[in-house]
Amino acid sequence: MFYQPNFKYIFCDMDGTLLDSSGLVPETNAEAIRVARSRGVQTIIATGKSCPAVIEVLGKVNLAGTGGIVSESSPGVFLQALLYSLKHRVTLVAFSQDDCYTTLDDHPLVDFFHVMYHEPKAKIISDVDHFLSTIDIQKFVFVETPEVISSVLRPHWARRVDGKAQGDVLEVVPLGTSKGNGIKILLKSLCASPDEVMALGNGENDKEMLQLAGLGVALCNGCKVTKVVADVIGASNDESGVAQAIYKYL
């Protein structure tokens, strides 16, 4: 298929897409984003990561402030999850706009979010009533063994939420909340058409974003469902797949 596009926006996932396997932005990707910006193409980061985590990672390559984040709060679903976590002693990690919280502090993956993904260090939820009345939650994840996630957690939450499972983490968002819906909201506010968008992603939650865009690029390290809906398959995140796509299709 031959593309002669007129893209104005790049919507780009972070983990596994813009970031390499070490959790950093390769300089080749950063330079490609700067080149795109010099051509009048704006790059918008589509991620569930908290603002401090995004700013920290992008700041290391002087890209902080060039992205936008669209998210929705989920108080009703989060309350159910919080009660479930406390009752069954399943570790829950919740992300607000600026902070990260957890119900239990004895799971090694809680610190892993901070070290590997640059999320703020998790604070323990000590006063549930105060927490629920003052904190706005963007998303949350359950942390358990892959066996428990596939056999217990995912079936339990399937009818309440959209869940993306990866190893020992189940990411949870309310039904109908997705990057695709967030991008629709953003495009409407920008008075822009999906045809003006190139989207890049690798994960299950990038599927709608790639379908919506004029050109959807799934990185070759991505999951099967994302590759199926993509218009093209790009290089991996460790091969600066974002940069290669920008130079090829802009």
Q: Which CATH class is domain 75-174?
A: alpha beta
**Domain ranges within the chain, ordered by starting residue:** 9-70+178-249, 75-174
Q: Is the pLDDT of residue 124 over 90?
A: no
Beta bridge partners of 101: 94, 123
What residue type is assigned to position 210 of the chain?
Answer: L
Pairing of strands 197-201, 100-102: unpaired
Highest mean pLDDT among 17-21, 38-42, 51-55, 204-208: 17-21
pLDDT digits (tens, 9 = 90+) for 29-43: 999 999 998 998 988
- The yes-or-no verdict on residue 70 having pLDDT over 60 is no
Equal fold, 9-70+178-249 vs 75-174: no
Residue 146 has pLDDT above 80, yes or no: yes
Report if pTM > 0.75. Answer: no
The CATH topology of domain 9-70+178-249 is: Rossmann fold (3.40.50)
Of the two residues 241 and 165, the one the predictor is more confident about is: 241
Rounded to whole angstroms, the Cα distance separating 90 from 84 reads: 8
The larger pLDDT score, comparing residue 223 to residue 5, is at 223
